[in-house]
Amino acid sequence: MNNSVTNNKSAHAKRRADSNLGIKRQQQRPRLDMNQAPRIPVRSTLASRSNHNSPTASTTERLSNISASSITSNSRLSNASINSNSSRISASSSSSTKSMSATTKAKKPIFDKTKKSIPTWDTKGRLNQLQAQLTETSEEVNEIEKLQQDLESSLQSKDGMLREAMQKVTDLERTIQETEERHQDELDKIRERFVSKNRELIYSNERRKKQFAGFESELSTMEFEYRKTKRTIEDEERENTTLKTQKRQVEGSLAELDAATRNKRLKKKNLMSELTAAEEKSETLSSRIESKGQYIQELQRTLLQNEKLRRKDHDKLQELKGNIRVFCRVRPAINSKTEPNLINARFFGDDNESMELTELTSSTLGRTITKSHTFTFDRVFSPEASQKDCFEEISQLVQSALDGFNVCIFAYGQTGSGKTFTMQGPTFPTEETSGMIPRAVQQIYEVVQQLKQFGWEYNMEGQFLEIYNETINDLLGNSSNYGRIKHEIHHEKNGKTSVTEMTSVVLDSPSKVKLMLRKANQNRATGATNMNERSSRSHSVFTLQLTGRNAATGETTSGILNLIDLAGSERLSMSGSTGDRLRETQAINKSLSCLGDKL
């Protein structure tokens, strides 16, 4: 008997320690899976005497089922639907709180202290009293079961609404992810508290099972068991107080979650309104874009027709202006001391096409006579004219080359009159001093880019040769082969003229033109005379072949632009040329005379 009492005391002390540790472990225990919570079946002899309707066993099983169903419901919910979960938990918690509150108020203590104490020897009376207490406990359990059924039916009705809400909330997942994580942490804490409470209830049921077993096996220890049960009830009341505090905290958290959910729903509604407005605006813009696209296509067809008309009109205009045009450019004085006998020039005409030169001469009688000479050209450029002004007159001819015509522009004049400067520019050109060749290529690049919208694609290849002492040299070839390769002129049946063994360079960027001009200047023959310190001693010919094709219309064009810098004409009596310079001057004058005969 003493051993039994001692064992019961030890078991009771251990259970109290486990109960106290359960509260602490509730805060320290890591996140648990409800499906892994232990389920301890509760059976007792007293339960079998009550037609197997033990409230303790039924309560334990139902609590385990509640845990499993809660976890199953939670497993169905994705992280994206935490707001809907919060709403359901709030509603369920609210109703369960009211029911549990009413149940708590109506709950009576298992053992009424006011009742008359039954003597220890009255075993039957004590059993009847325990049976009455079990009946009251069964009624309370039935009320809890009914409350559970109400909660389950409420959860089932909410499932349909939840699926609809999940579909709508999907579009807001990215926006509310941070809120979801915070809510998930709070739900994890609630779940941990629930698991802890479930485990404590299981342990409590185990203790009661042992108590009932003790009532059946040792009726003599009933008074001790009564005191132990009383202490257990006091512990449970303290736990109940703790749970109420936790419940209030959970209710506060759920209220915050509910407010956050309402805010998210309001924000979602506003976003849906904005989305609807944006979709309407998008439809309006789409229709406008479609109409604009049709209008653009019509404009493109019109532009294509206008481009054809422009080509015809441009060709007619060039024919009206004349297939051969002569422009005169007057170089400004470099140094009045080295050029004392300057002639006064006057420029006039509606298009600056005339020039009058005035000089003072002496008659046979020694009188000073003023002589005037008037010359008329297609255009006269005064010393103040810039490179840009000169290029504006020949830019239309460059356009004709793109349209498929053969164009030839050459600079002719006395040594030192500025031919090379006009055609190529200075050694280190700027945007203002750039010559006709780089300006022509630049214009061609710009026009080619504009013609791409009409379906035109162009290929451009350049050649650069010189004629020195009646010999053709390739200025773009290897400098070590300069003068060693024999180049011949071929006149083809289609009317084109070509030179053999010439280096062709694909000019797909303006930078390549600059490199080509620099290399050609390095290879070109120059020399000093009495009339020019750096005189070009050869004729240079820059040939640009333009081949175009229109993918839309199937048209093809092939034009050639020849830009020529002739060697300077000079009088042998004034140039003072001897030796090689004399032979160069004779060859230059001979070729210029031949050119004059052809013109």
For residue 438, give the nearest of 385, 514, 386 by alpha carbon. Answer: 514
Each residue of 213-251: pLDDT tens digit? Answer: 766 777 777 777 788 888 889 998 999 999 889 888 888
Q: Which two tokens stand for residue 187?
A: 């739900």
Q: 380 with 393, same domain?
A: no
Q: 48 with 169, same domain?
A: yes
Give the pLDDT confidence score for residue 599 in this predicted structure: 65
* Domain boundary, last residue among 227, 262, 284: 284
Q: 463 with 514, same domain?
A: yes
Does residue 584 have a pLDDT over 50?
yes
What residues make up the domain containing 210?
2-284
Q: Which two tokens stand for residue 383?
A: 């010393």
Q: Mean pLDDT over residues 305-312, rounded? A: 69
* Domain boundary, last residue among 370, 385, 400: 385
Q: 400 with 414, same domain?
A: yes
Quick one: pLDDT band at residue 324, thresholds 50, 70, 90?
confident
Does residue 388 have a pLDDT over 90?
yes
Looking at the DSSP bridge assignments, the partners of residue 497 are 491
Q: Mean pLDDT over residues 32-46, rounded? A: 38
* Domain boundary, last residue among 385, 412, 429: 385
420 annotated to a ligand binding site: yes
**DSSP secondary structure letters along 311-351:** HHHHHHHHHHH-SS--EEEPPPPS-TTT---PPEEEEESTT
101 annotated to a ligand binding site: no
Report how many domains make up the chain: 3
CA–CA dist 332, 283 (Å, integer): 66
Neighbours of 568 (CB within 10 A): 25
Q: Mean pLDDT over residues 490-515, rounded? A: 85
Each residue of 467-489: pLDDT tens digit? Answer: 888 888 898 888 778 778 888 88
Q: 344 with 464, same domain?
A: no
417 annotated to a ligand binding site: yes
| Within-domain flag for 8 | yes
415 annotated to a ligand binding site: yes
The verdict on pTM exceeding 0.75 is no
316 annotated to a ligand binding site: no
Quick one: pLDDT band at residue 336, thresholds 50, 70, 90?
low
| Within-domain flag for 50 | yes
Each residue of 127-138: pLDDT tens digit? Answer: 888 888 899 898
Q: 378 with 396, same domain?
A: no
Give the pLDDT confidence score for residue 387 in this predicted structure: 93
Give the pLDDT confidence score for residue 56 in this predicted structure: 40
214 annotated to a ligand binding site: no
Neighbours of 544 (CB within 10 A): 23
Helix ranges (H only) for 170-221 are 177-217
418 annotated to a ligand binding site: yes
104 annotated to a ligand binding site: no
Quick check: 130 and 214 in contact, CB under 8 A? no
85 Cβ partners below 8 Å, 6+ apart? 74, 77, 162, 183, 187
